[in-house]
Structure 1
C-alpha cells in the first residue's frame, strides 16, 4: 500500500490534518522529568524514578492517560523489562487485536521477517525476550494462562510497534519517546530522498517538536545498514538504486589520493581504508575535546587534518609512501569538522573572556576567535546548502545551519571586541549607524513574514527568493570574507563559502593573500578582491565593515527561518526563535524592491 498525490502540492503545505497516535509512550529515561501524557517538561522532576509510576503536568493529562496505564498490562512488566516499545505495544493491544494476516490496527507488523529463524540477531532476540515479558504481563492482567496464543499476540504487537513507531522529538532535538499512527501516516512511502517530513505538536504547547538533523544519517551505507537492522528492508528508492551514486552520496564520501607529482586515482579498498583512519583521527580529536576540554588544541588538530590530510603510511603495497589522502570539502567528516570548529572557536572566545575580560590582549584574541567561529558557521551553511540544491531532504539541516551562521554573524557585529579600536588608537565603528545599512536587492524578509503566516510558498517563488538570497549573501561575503578568515590557514583556501567552485575539488585552491597589520595607527584586513573591506582610518569604511557583517547575519537568519517554516511549520520553535531575534534587532532594516 502507498499514498500518492493527485496534484502538485505547494512547498510547506500540510498534506494531512493533525493525526492522533494510536499508541505512544515516553522513553524510560524521561518518565520522571516529563509528562507521560503530553511529553512536556514537568515543573519539578520526580527525584525517585520508577518505571511503573507515571507523572503528569496537569489534572487533564492525568485523566487522559491514567485509565489507559492502569488498564494495560504494562504495570505488570518487571522494571528490568520496562521499555517504551513494550508499553506502546501493550497500550495498542487495549483497543486492537491482531488479524490472521499478522496485521494490527491495519498496520503491517513484519512479524515473520523480523523473527525469521534464518536471521538471528539483536532484533529477533529483542523481540523474543520482549514478547515473552509482554505475554507474562498480559496473562497476569487478564487472569489467563500464558500460552502460545498470548505469546503470538504479544509478538505481533511488538513487531508492529518496531516497524511503524516514530521518535517524538522536542524542540531541542531530543527523542522523548515514540508514537504509532494509523495507515494515513504509516502508508506514506519510504524514500532516502523524501519530499515530505512530519512534525509533532505537543498538546500542552504551541511549539512543534523538531529534530536537529545532521549529515551522517544521509550516507548511503549507513542508510542501508539502519534500514536492514531495524526493518529487514533493502531500500530500492531512486537515490539508493542510482548508478553511479548520486552527486550527494558521492561528495559525502569522496577522498582523493594525492602524490608529490600529481593527483591520482586509487581503489575503493584504499579509499575505505583511508576513510576509516580519518574517521578515527577526527573522532579521537573530538572525543579528546569533549573529555579534556581544550578547544584550542581541538581547533589546531582538526585544521591540520583538513589542510594536510592523512599523511601516515597505510600498510598496503600499492600505496606510495608519499601518498596523501585528502577529504573532499563536502565529505561528511569535513562537515563534522566544520561543525566542531565553529563551536570550539566560540568556546575559546568565551573561555578567554571568562578568565580576564579586562585585558586588551584577551579581548582582541577573543574577538578573533569569535570572528573565525562565524566564518566556519558560514562555511558550514554554504557547504550544506550546496548539497541541498541536489538533495531537498537536507532542508532541516540547512535551516539549522543558516540560522546558526546568522546568529554568529549578528553576535560578531555587536561584539564588544570592536571597542578595542579605542585602546589601539583606531577608528571606532558607529554601530547605531551601521545597523541601518539597507538591502534593496531581495524580497527575503517579505517571504519570511509570509511564511510566518501560513508556512507555504510556491515552488517558483521559493526558487526566486533562494536565488536572490544567494546573490545578496555572495555579494556581501566578498566584502568581508578576507576579514573573517584572517589568520586561519584552512579557511584561506576558500575564496568564497557561498560560491560552490571551491567545493568541486579536493585540492586546496590558491591561498588568499591576507595581510594583517595591528599597531597603534591602523588595522587592515585585506585580500586580493578589490571589493573587500579595509578597516583603516576612514570612519565610513569601519561602519561599512560592521554593517556588512550585520546585514549578512540578518540574511542568513531570515533564510534559515524561511526554510524552518517550510520544514517545521510557521509556529515551530525554530521559526519563533528566528522571529524573536530579528524583532530584537530594532535598528535593522531589510527592504525589498
Structure 2
C-alpha cells in the first residue's frame, strides 16, 4: 500500500495534523533528563509521583515533568513489564534497551485493544502495521544471521520480563514461546523512528499510526516529518493524504480507506506529536515519499542499509538513473594517481571496492580515536592526512615491476563530507581542552584560537558542499538547513570569542547587538524574509528561489575576503579555494603532493592572514555567520512546521521541535509497505 495526496499541495505545507504516537520510549541515556511521557527536558526539581490515583510507587528508572505525565505514563511502565525488563540484565546485543521497552509498551497497547492474535501465525501485520517478520528472520548472509539472532535474543528478554510480571504459569507468557514478542519487536525495528529534540539530538524512539507508517521510502522524497512537544495552537492542519491500493483494486482501496480512517480515530496517545510536511510541490494523487536513510550516502550504502534494515531494494528514479545522477556520482567518486605517470583519472570498478574499503577503515580508525579514546588531536591529524594525501597502494605490473598508486576522495565524496563534520567537532573540542589546561598560557590560547577558526571553516565548507549538491537534488533541504545553521552558529561563536584580544596584535573593536533585530544587510532582504517566513502569506516556492539567490550573492562576495583568515597552514583547507563557489574544482587536477612535501608547506595563492586588514575581519565574519544562520532558519521554516514566534526577533525553530532526519544508528525510519 502507499499514501497519496488528496489534492495538489505546494512546498512547505503540512500534510497531516499533529499525530500522537501509539507508543514511545526514551533512550537509556535520556531516562533521567527527559520526561518519559512527553519527552520534554526536565528541570532540576524532583520527579513527580501520583499517589492520589493509587498508581504503583514511582519507578527508579523513569522521571516525569508533571503529575499529569506521571498519571499517564507510570501505569503503562509497570503494566507493560518495562519495569521488569530494566531490572534484569540487558541482552548483550542491546546496549540501549529503548527498542525492547518500546516493543513491550506497544505489545501491551495491542493487547489492550485486542488486536494481537494468540496463535502461531506469521503476524504479517498487527494493528495495521507491517511487522516484516518473515523477511527479517530469514538468513541469507552472516549479517542476516546476526539480525535474526539479535531479534531472538531481544524477544527472549521481553518474554522473561512479561513472565516476571505475570507469573510463570500464565499461558500468555509461557516459557520458550516468543512468537508474539518477536513479531512486535520486528514491527518496532521496521516502523519506529528516532524522535529528536530542537537541537537535533535523538532522545528516544516512537511508533506512529498508519497516517505516517504507511508512507513509503524514496531517495528523492517529496515530504519530511518533524516532532513537537508543544500543544497545538491555532488552526489544526487537515489530513491531506489517503491510502491507495498498489494493485489498483477499487474495492480493496475502499476497504483500506475505511480501516485507515478507523485507525486514525484510535490514535489517542501522549507524547511527541509528528507532522508530515511537503518539501516539494506535490500533485493530486501523487505518492508521498519520505527518506528512510541518509540521502548524503552513496547509492551502494543506501541500498545496503535499506536491505539490512527493511529487506527491500530501492527502485526509485535516483537509484535507477543510468548513468548515475551527478549527486550520486560525486558522492562516491574517487580519483587514482599513478605516481610514475602523475595524471589523475576516475577510479575503475575493480579498484573502487578496494579503495573505498581502505578509506572507510582509515576513517573509522580516526573517528574511533575521537569518539572512543577522546583524542581529538589524533583524530584530526589522521583525517587531515587522509584528505590531503589520500591512500597509497603498491601495485604489481605485468613485467614484475611495482608501481605506487594513490587514491584521493572527491571533495564531495560522502566520506569527505563526514570528515568535514568530524573535523569541525574535533577542533572545537580540542580548543576547549587547550583552554582548560591553562587559560592564561598565551601559547595554548593562540592554539585554541587557531583550532576554533579551523572548526568554523570546516562547518562552512560542509554547508557550502552540501548546498552545491542541494542545487541538483532539492530533497537534501533538511541536511542543508541544519548545516547552514551550524555554520552560522560556529562563525558567530568564533566572533564572540574573548581570544581575539590576546591572539591578534590589532584586534578590531566589535560590539554585537544582543538581538538580531538591529542587524540587516543593505544588499539583500534576507532578514525580513526570514521573519516573514512564519506568516505563510505568499508563494513559498518563489520565496525559496529568491531568498537563495540573494543569500548566495552576499556570501559569495563576503567569503573569499575572509576565508584565508579562517584556515591554518598545514590543513586540507588550504587546497579549498572557496567553500561556497566550487567552480575551482573544475580546473583543479586531482593529483597528489609528492611524499617529501610536508603538509605544512602548502601555501595559499590568495591573501594570507597577515595581509588582511584586521579591523574588518571580525565584522566580516559576523556578517557571514549572520547570513548563514538566517538562511538556515529560512530553510528550516520550509521543511519544518513553524509557529509564529512570540517575539518577532526570534529566528530559531520552536523549542521541542525538530525535523526528522534519518540516522545510521537506532531504529531508523518507517516500514516499507
TM-score band w.r.t. shorter chain: 0.7 to 0.9
Contact 2:445 2:499 in 1 (8 A): yes
SS at match of 1:256: strand
Match of 1:90 in 2: 107
Contact 1:456 1:566 in 2 (8 A): no
- Say yes or no: does 1:563 pair with 2:635: yes
SS at match of 2:194: strand
Listed as ranges, the matches of 1:328-343 within 5 Å are: 328-343=410-425
- Say yes or no: does 1:79 pair with 2:106: no
Contact 1:374 1:484 in 2 (8 A): yes
Matching residue within 511, 516, 524 for 2:610:
524
- Larger mean CA deviation between 470-479 and 331-340 belongs to 331-340
- Once the two structures are superposed, residues 134-162 of structure 1 have per-residue CA deviations (whole angstroms, 9 ceiling, x without a partner) of 56737947944657998554444343333
Match of 1:124 in 2: 148
Contact 1:166 1:180 in 2 (8 A): yes
Tell me how far apart the structure 2 counterparts of residues 421 and 162 of structure 1 sit (CA, whole Å): 51
Match of 2:226 in 1: 199
Q: Which has the higher helix share?
A: 1
- With over 3 angstroms needed to count, the CA separation of the structure-2 counterparts of 1:265 and 1:507, relative to structure 1, is closer
Contact 2:369 2:376 in 1 (8 A): no
- Once the two structures are superposed, residues 216-251 of structure 1 have per-residue CA deviations (whole angstroms, 9 ceiling, x without a partner) of 873322322222222222221222222232222221
Tell me how far apart the structure 2 counterparts of residues 340 and 400 of structure 1 sit (CA, whole Å): 15
Match of 2:284 in 1: none
Match of 2:391 in 1: 310
- Say yes or no: does 1:251 pair with 2:346: no
Tell me how far apart the structure 2 counterparts of residues 148 and 298 of structure 1 sit (CA, whole Å): 48
SS at match of 1:313: strand
- With over 3 angstroms needed to count, the CA separation of the structure-2 counterparts of 1:495 and 1:508, relative to structure 1, is farther
SS at match of 2:335: strand
Q: Kindly report the root-mean-square deviation, in angstroms, between the aligned alpha carbons of the 2 structures.
A: 4.2
Listed as ranges, the matches of 1:202-213 within 5 Å are: 202=229
Listed as ranges, the gaps of 5+ residues in structure 2 are: 48-57, 91-96, 234-270, 275-291, 593-601, 654-673
Deviation at 1:554, TM superposition (A): 0.5
Contact 1:328 1:503 in 2 (8 A): no
Higher relative contact order (CA 8 A, sep 6+): 2
Tell me how far apart the structure 1 counterparts of residues 347 and 64 of structure 2 sit (CA, whole Å): 59
SS at match of 1:65: helix
Match of 2:238 in 1: none
Deviation at 1:130, TM superposition (A): 4.6
- Once the two structures are superposed, residues 533-562 of structure 1 have per-residue CA deviations (whole angstroms, 9 ceiling, x without a partner) of x31xxxxxx443332211111001111111
Matching residue within 135, 139, 158 for 1:113:
135
Match of 1:168 in 2: 195
TM-score, reference length from structure 2: 0.71
Contact 1:23 1:91 in 2 (8 A): no
Match of 2:508 in 1: 429
Tell me how far apart the structure 1 counterparts of residues 72 and 487 of structure 2 sit (CA, whole Å): 42
SS at match of 1:88: helix
- Once the two structures are superposed, residues 1-32 of structure 1 have per-residue CA deviations (whole angstroms, 9 ceiling, x without a partner) of 21122444333221100112222333455444
Match of 1:277 in 2: 358
- Once the two structures are superposed, residues 177-229 of structure 1 have per-residue CA deviations (whole angstroms, 9 ceiling, x without a partner) of 3222221111212112222111122268999899xx99687332232222222
Tell me how far apart the structure 2 counterparts of residues 369 and 163 of structure 1 sit (CA, whole Å): 41
Match of 1:588 in 2: none
- Say yes or no: does 1:286 pair with 2:329: no
Match of 1:590 in 2: none
- Once the two structures are superposed, residues 243-289 of structure 1 have per-residue CA deviations (whole angstroms, 9 ceiling, x without a partner) of 23222222122111012432235432312212221222233233234
Tell me how far apart the structure 1 counterparts of residues 439 and 21 of structure 2 sit (CA, whole Å): 52
Listed as ranges, the gaps of 5+ residues in structure 1 are: 517-522, 526-533, 536-541, 582-593
Tell me how far apart the structure 2 counterparts of residues 512 and 258 of structure 1 sit (CA, whole Å): 23
How many residue pairs were aligned? Answer: 553
- With over 3 angstroms needed to count, the CA separation of the structure-2 counterparts of 1:198 and 1:357, relative to structure 1, is same
Matching residue within 602, 605, 608 for 1:513:
605
Contact 2:219 2:316 in 1 (8 A): yes
Contact 2:295 2:476 in 1 (8 A): no
SS at match of 1:162: helix
Match of 1:56 in 2: 64
- Larger mean CA deviation between 246-255 and 434-443 belongs to 434-443
TM-score, reference length from structure 1: 0.80
SS at match of 1:524: helix
SS at match of 1:492: helix
Contact 2:297 2:414 in 1 (8 A): no
Deviation at 1:170, TM superposition (A): 2.6
Match of 1:531 in 2: none
- Larger mean CA deviation between 80-89 and 142-151 belongs to 142-151
- Say yes or no: does 1:5 pair with 2:13: no
SS at match of 1:11: coil
Tell me how far apart the structure 2 counterparts of residues 249 and 579 of structure 1 sit (CA, whole Å): 33
- With over 3 angstroms needed to count, the CA separation of the structure-2 counterparts of 1:506 and 1:289, relative to structure 1, is farther
- With over 3 angstroms needed to count, the CA separation of the structure-2 counterparts of 1:252 and 1:579, relative to structure 1, is same
- With over 3 angstroms needed to count, the CA separation of the structure-2 counterparts of 1:205 and 1:348, relative to structure 1, is farther
Contact 1:40 1:204 in 2 (8 A): no
Contact 1:455 1:570 in 2 (8 A): no
Listed as ranges, the matches of 1:155-234 within 5 Å are: 155-202=182-229, 218-234=297-313
- With over 3 angstroms needed to count, the CA separation of the structure-2 counterparts of 1:455 and 1:489, relative to structure 1, is farther
- With over 3 angstroms needed to count, the CA separation of the structure-2 counterparts of 1:430 and 1:59, relative to structure 1, is closer
Listed as ranges, the matches of 1:363-512 within 5 Å are: 363-420=445-502, 424=505, 426=506, 428-432=507-511, 439-453=521-535, 458-485=540-567, 487-504=569-586, 507=590, 512=604
- Larger mean CA deviation between 543-552 and 554-563 belongs to 543-552
